[in-house]
């Protein structure tokens, strides 16, 4: 086996963002680009000779090519074994699961998560450490430094390694073990949740009741706008967020019928996982999953489970004879969106509901040690933590900040407003895990999704919450908005806007309570005296232009107001945000690309 040492020149743009290095496919296709980054990873982590690496991705365009390159480089960088998901497939949570279960040194995950794929789409690569979680910033920073110094990389000259059949083969001294990408993960899920109860729920083994309002009393639905396309209008946001108009407390659509679910895999990685778990193990009918065949370009879609991009599922859940429960996951399977019949569960609320009901679920009934949420995520989970007498940590955006807290046993559940929820069972957020957690709660409580959420609000108060994304705007305009806000801190302090008074504004910084590492500039916060918040930050995952995210939150203790439209309730905050950021003037955008 011939080893080639290839002379290369550094690229200066290989800085990992919120979650690994993400670029357009054609950037990765440049000669040496992928190889440089992989060698920078190997040089930085310096695995001991003979170490085992996990390797897989979400199946997007360029996945298979990248797997071959990485295998051929691993073989000459001292690895003894690489565990590759069959066909090069491993969802992000499954990769984290395998790293932990097989006690490997770490893993490389190929994904650009929820970003579109295909030859003109995005590709991505990230390194996860032995705890199964994304490498912390000190490692990603070191990888970036190495990528700026690199002058050569090593790769073996060999034919492509077969990855489509389970079994071992040799590449020089290194063993390539092609593994089933689903098994370890499905077993882990079965160890956490009451599969028998969920099976009974999904197969009609249990007759459900608990109706508060019967379907026949339901007011007519406002029609769903034709296409949620790229611009979700506040019209749609109000449709999906008007529980009073959608009241439906019954757990099944027809009295005594089985509980019907629809899971949208969005032609991304979760298709095979959903088939094994929902159909094979939990007995759900085959039509419970849609878009279940993974495609390299995700069927031309945008594999992001939100109200805009999962509009096909949203239309089904808001249509006639809708299923009782709907869910979707993203490109690499770590995100989730939860829907009830004619009802959208805000991800911040979802985290809070899971925490408040965790005692009903076998894997969590012994109690939670703590909860963590990213700073922009609503404080709904904080209220649950307070009632449980456990700590709630506020971290910067990105899952990598949860790893230390979980490793130290400080938190059990974690979540982000960006459709991410997870626990210490692995070190990534986990889409199907969240879906199963919800199904377990539904199987025990025998109430509808909507009833569970509205009862939660009645008990804890409602953190009215929304995120407005302005995608693909010129970088200079986006930076200008951030700078303006920075420059306005002194002037904004204690400023009065109608009934709202500013209490504090800053750029969030975080001191990791475990290792003391400090992360600054993590998002602008404008906190008001009544607990309302505006948060503004720039996305760290995009690949084209800039994406500005505005997060809005107000607390509503009055149950009589819980049914009010979210966008209207947040209207005063939205106006303040637009005014102080000069967003419309600076970007020319009059409405957000996506509202969640
Ligand atoms: C986004 C989300 C963030 C999430 C990340 C990876 O990052 O906002 O919560 O952890 O994707 O899924 P952003 O683009 O905002 O930097
Ligand atoms: Zn993802």
Residues with active-site annotation: 113
How confident is the model over 540-554, as a mean pLDDT?
89
Find out whether the beta carbon of 566 lies less than 6 Å from any atom of ligand 1: no
Q: Which of 201-205, 350-354, 399-403, 537-541 has the highest mean pLDDT?
A: 350-354
Residue of 333, 372, 418, 539 to test ligand 1 pocket, by largest number of atoms within 8 Å of CB:
418
Ligand 2 centroid distance, CA of 415 (Å): 13
Residue 75, C-beta contacts closer than 8 angstroms, at least 6 positions apart:
1, 156, 158, 171, 172, 173, 174
The yes-or-no verdict on residue 235 having pLDDT over 70 is no
Find out whether the beta carbon of 539 lies less than 6 Å from any atom of ligand 1: yes
**Nearest CA-CA partner of 399 in 411, 416, 417, 412:** 416
How confident is the model over 480-505, as a mean pLDDT?
93
Ligand 1 atom showing the smallest separation from residue 19 Cα = 6
pLDDT at position 228, please? 29
Confidence of residue 205 (pLDDT cuts 50, 70, 90): confident
Alpha helices in 125-249 (DSSP H): 137-149, 183-192, 195-203, 234-240, 243-246
Give, using CA atoms, the residue closest to atom 4 of ligand 1.
398
Average model confidence (pLDDT) for the chain? Answer: 91
Helix (H, G, I), strand (E, B) or coil at 249: coil
Select the more confidently predicted residue: 525 or 211.
525
pLDDT at position 217, please? 32
Strand 518-519 relative to strand 510-511, pairing: antiparallel
The yes-or-no verdict on residue 426 having pLDDT over 80 is yes
How confident is the model over 388-397, as a mean pLDDT?
97
Confidence of residue 292 (pLDDT cuts 50, 70, 90): very high
pLDDT at position 545, please? 84
H-run or E-run covering 38: helix 33-45
DSSP state letters, 97-143: HHHHHTT-SEEEEE--TTS--STTSEEEEEEEETTSSBPPHHHHHHH
Domain annotation for the chain: domains and CATH numbers: 2-181 (3.40.120.10), 186-460 (3.40.120.10), 464-595 (3.30.310.50)
Contact criterion met (CB below 8 Å) for 65 and 142: no
Rounded to whole angstroms, how far apart are CA atoms 212 and 377? Answer: 30
pLDDT at position 541, please? 77
Neighbours of ion ligand 2 (CB under 5 A): 113, 330, 332, 334-335
Find out whether the beta carbon of 329 lies less than 6 Å from any atom of ligand 1: no
Ligand 1 centroid distance, CA of 417 (Å): 9
Find out whether the beta carbon of 111 lies less than 6 Å from any atom of ligand 1: no
How confident is the model over 169-180, as a mean pLDDT?
97
Q: Is the pTM of this model over 0.85?
A: yes
Find out whether the beta carbon of 92 lies less than 6 Å from any atom of ligand 1: no
Find out whether the beta carbon of 549 lies less than 6 Å from any atom of ligand 1: yes
């Amino acid at each position: 086996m011939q080893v080639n040492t290839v002379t290369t020149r550094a690229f200066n743009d290989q800085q990992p963002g919120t979650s690994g290095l993400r670029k357009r496919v054609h950037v990765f296709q440049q000669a040496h680009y992928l190889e440089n980054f992989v060698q920078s990873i190997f040089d930085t982590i310096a695995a001991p000779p003979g170490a085992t690496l996990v390797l897989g991705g979400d199946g997007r365009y360029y996945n298979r090519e990248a797997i071959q390159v990485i295998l051929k480089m691993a073989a000459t960088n001292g690895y003894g074994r690489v565990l590759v998901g069959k066909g090069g497939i491993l969802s992000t949570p499954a990769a984290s699961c395998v790293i932990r279960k097989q006690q490997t040194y770490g893993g490389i995950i190929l994904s650009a998560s929820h970003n579109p794929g295909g030859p003109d789409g995005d590709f991505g690569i990230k390194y996860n450490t032995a705890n199964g979680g994304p490498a912390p910033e000190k490692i990603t920073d070191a990888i970036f430094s190495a990528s700026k110094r690199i002058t050569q990389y090593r790769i073996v000259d060999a034919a492509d390694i077969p990855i489509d059949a389970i079994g071992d083969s040799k590449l020089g001294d290194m063993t390539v073990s092609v593994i089933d990408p689903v098994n370890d993960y499905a077993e882990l899920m079965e160890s956490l949740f009451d599969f028998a109860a969920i099976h009974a729920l999904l197969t009609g083994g249990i007759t459900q009741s608990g109706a508060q309002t019967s379907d026949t009393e339901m007011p007519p639905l406002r029609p769903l706008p034709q296409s949620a396309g790229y611009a979700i209008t506040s019209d749609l946001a109000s449709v999906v967020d008007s529980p009073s108009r959608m009241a439906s407390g019954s757990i099944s659509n027809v009295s005594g019928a089985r509980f019907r679910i629809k899971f949208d895999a969005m032609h991304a990685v979760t298709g095979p996982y959903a088939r094994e778990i929902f159909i094979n193990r939990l007995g759900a009918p085959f039509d419970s999953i849609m878009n279940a065949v993974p495609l390299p370009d995700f069927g031309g879609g945008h594999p992001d489970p939100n109200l805009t991009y999962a509009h096909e599922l949203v239309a089904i859940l808001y249509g006639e004879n809708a299923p009782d429960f709907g869910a979707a996951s993203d490109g690499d399977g770590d995100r989730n969106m939860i829907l009830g019949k004619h009802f959208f569960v805000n991800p911040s609320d979802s985290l809070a509901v899971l925490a408040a009901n965790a005692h009903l679920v076998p894997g969590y009934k012994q109690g939670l040690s703590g909860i963590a949420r990213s700073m922009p995520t609503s404080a709904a989970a904080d209220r649950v933590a307070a009632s449980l007498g456990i700590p709630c940590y506020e971290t910067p955006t990105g899952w990598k900040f949860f790893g230390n807290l979980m490793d130290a046993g400080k938190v059990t559940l974690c979540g982000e407003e960006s459709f991410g929820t997870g626990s210490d069972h692995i070190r990534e957020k986990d889409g199907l895990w969240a879906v199963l957690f919800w199904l377990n709660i539904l199987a025990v409580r025998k109430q509808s999704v909507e009833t569970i959420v509205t009862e939660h609000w009645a008990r804890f108060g409602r953190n009215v919450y929304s995120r407005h994304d302005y995608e693909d705007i010129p970088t200079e305009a986006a930076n200008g908005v951030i700078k303006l806000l920075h420059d306005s801190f002194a002037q904004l302090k204690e400023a009065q806007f109608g009934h709202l008074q500013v209490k504090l504004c800053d750029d969030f910084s975080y001191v990791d309570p475990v290792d003391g590492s400090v992360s600054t500039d993590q998002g602008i916060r404008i906190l008001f005296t009544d607990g309302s918040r505006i948060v503004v930050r720039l996305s760290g995952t995009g690949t084209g232009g800039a994406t500005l995210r505005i997060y809005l939150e107000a607390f509503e203790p009055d149950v009589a107001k819980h049914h009010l439209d979210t966008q209207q309730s947040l209207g005063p905050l939205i106006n303040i945000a637009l005014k102080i950021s000069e967003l419309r003037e600076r970007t020319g955008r009059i409405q957000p690309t996506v509202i969640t």
